[in-house]
Amino acid sequence: MHTQVIQIDPDHIDLSSIRLAAQKILDGRLVAFPTETVYGLGANALNGDAVSRIFAAKGRPPSDPLIVHIYSLDQLNQVAIQIPDLAYRLAEKFWSGPLTLVLPRNESITPAVSAGLHTVAVRMPSHPVALALLRSANVPIAAPSANLFSRPSPTTAQHVLEDLKDRVDIILDGGRVDIGVESTVLDLTSDVPTILRAGGLTLEALRQVIPNCVMRNVYLGEDESAASPGMMMKHYSPRAKMLLFDGERESVLRSMVDEARRHHRAGVLVFDEDEGVFEGSGVATSRLGSESDLAQIATNLFSAMRDLDQKNVDVILVRGVKREGLGLAIWDRLVRAAEGRVISK
Ligand code: AMP
Ligand code: MG
């Protein structure tokens, strides 16, 4: 398979390119496309063979279910059944946007999408290229992040190409994505609405509509994946071992400097405020942005991890963020990338 990369300006979408990509989807092939969260690797959610190509291309275990994307509320019935009123209220407020709802699955959605579960995860992305593709194909599109399994999620078309060259038919290159971390996954099939994964929509925003919603916060080892789909600990990881430091800034920075000295070539995911600390020390740095700007940190997070990997560091050190707003999703990605190695100071 040869991968074709097609540039698309999200502000002036060329419909002939979109039609070409939509036809690939209808032919059962794979198309990577930008969403507002990260790049997705899409296939027709009604076609079992097409969906199995996603798992093969990513090396993703079949026990890890995919998110189905739609462009209009009219399509929701094709994806899910027994849709509660709350789903429509949430959709009205937060769609299109980075909120995924887990609902009972309509049988038209191929079981492979949901790893055999009777539920399905569904969302309406807001990126104009994603919406144009969905509208043109006019079928629900299953799409996980367009990276190799357990690698950092892609926030540019270049990242997709790095991981999936010749494993995907078309990459629609709509430039760098906006949010940079994946959607918030909310389970509406449990007794109490439960956040299964922190993401681009904050807990605080969700609580305005569902004050009683809770957050499940478990990190599982790979062998336990079946118990809780797709919530494995090792995820979003750079190649180098990562260590996450938590605690008061001064003592954290001191231990990071000490730790860096113990390695041949250390890399640091660095906040603007901390850059001076590592200057001239021989460590490789990649900037996350200002510590106080969580949106900027989210945007930069995965590409900064990839950047340090390309600098061939043997360890990556990072200081934790405050765990509120987007910080919850960022913290979650950091813990997973560090495979749970959190050093408290
Ligand atoms: P990704 O598409 O790579 O962003 O990952 C999608 C994630 O959504 C999975 O790893 C699960 O955590 C979650 N998910 C998808 N479908 C379901 C489902 N039916 N039930 C629970 N969680 C789901
Ligand atoms: Mg993913």
Å from CA of 280 to ligand 2 middle: 36
Euclidean distance between CA atoms 88 and 288, whole angstroms: 36
For the Cβ of 297 lying below 6 angstroms from any atom of ligand 1, the answer is no
The tens digit of pLDDT for each residue in 258-302 reads: 999 999 999 999 999 999 999 988 999 999 999 999 999 999 999
The tens digit of pLDDT for each residue in 199-229 reads: 999 999 999 999 999 988 665 544 444 345 5
User: Which SS3 state, helix, strand or coil, does residue 163 take?
Assistant: helix
Å from CA of 255 to ligand 2 middle: 31
The tens digit of pLDDT for each residue in 18-75 reads: 999 999 999 999 999 999 999 999 999 999 999 999 999 999 999 999 999 999 999 9
- Tell me which residue has its CA closest to atom 5 in ligand 1: 144
Domain covering 241-344: architecture: 3-Layer(aba) Sandwich (3.40)
The pLDDT, as a whole number, for residue 218 is 60
The pLDDT, as a whole number, for residue 122 is 98
Residues 6+ apart with CB under 8 A from 116: none
Among the bound ligands, the one closest to the CA of 148: 2
Euclidean distance between CA atoms 202 and 216, whole angstroms: 14
Domain map (residue ranges) of the chain:
4-215, 241-344
pTM metric for this prediction: 0.95
Q: Are 222 and 137 in contact (CB under 8 A)?
A: no
Å from CA of 195 to ligand 2 middle: 16
> For 225, how many CA atoms within 13 A lie in the half-sphere containing its CB?
14
The tens digit of pLDDT for each residue in 106-163 reads: 999 999 999 999 999 999 999 999 999 999 999 999 999 999 998 999 999 999 999 9
The pLDDT, as a whole number, for residue 345 is 86
Q: Are 123 and 69 in contact (CB under 8 A)?
A: yes
For the Cβ of 64 lying below 6 angstroms from any atom of ligand 1, the answer is yes
The pLDDT, as a whole number, for residue 224 is 45
Assigned CATH for 4-215 = 3.90.870.10
Which atom from ligand 1 is nearest to the alpha carbon of 143? 2
Place of tokens 């275990």: 61
For the Cβ of 121 lying below 6 angstroms from any atom of ligand 1, the answer is yes
Sheet with strand 39-44: strands edge to edge: 4-7, 170-173, 31-34, 39-44, 141-142, 67-69, 119-123, 99-104, 184-187, 194-197, 214-215
Å from CA of 120 to ligand 2 middle: 16
Euclidean distance between CA atoms 205 and 155, whole angstroms: 24
- Tell me which residue has its CA closest to atom 11 in ligand 1: 230
Which atom from ligand 1 is nearest to the alpha carbon of 197? 12
For the Cβ of 105 lying below 6 angstroms from any atom of ligand 1, the answer is no
Q: What are the backbone angles phi and psi of residue 38, rounded to the nearest 5°?
A: -145, 175
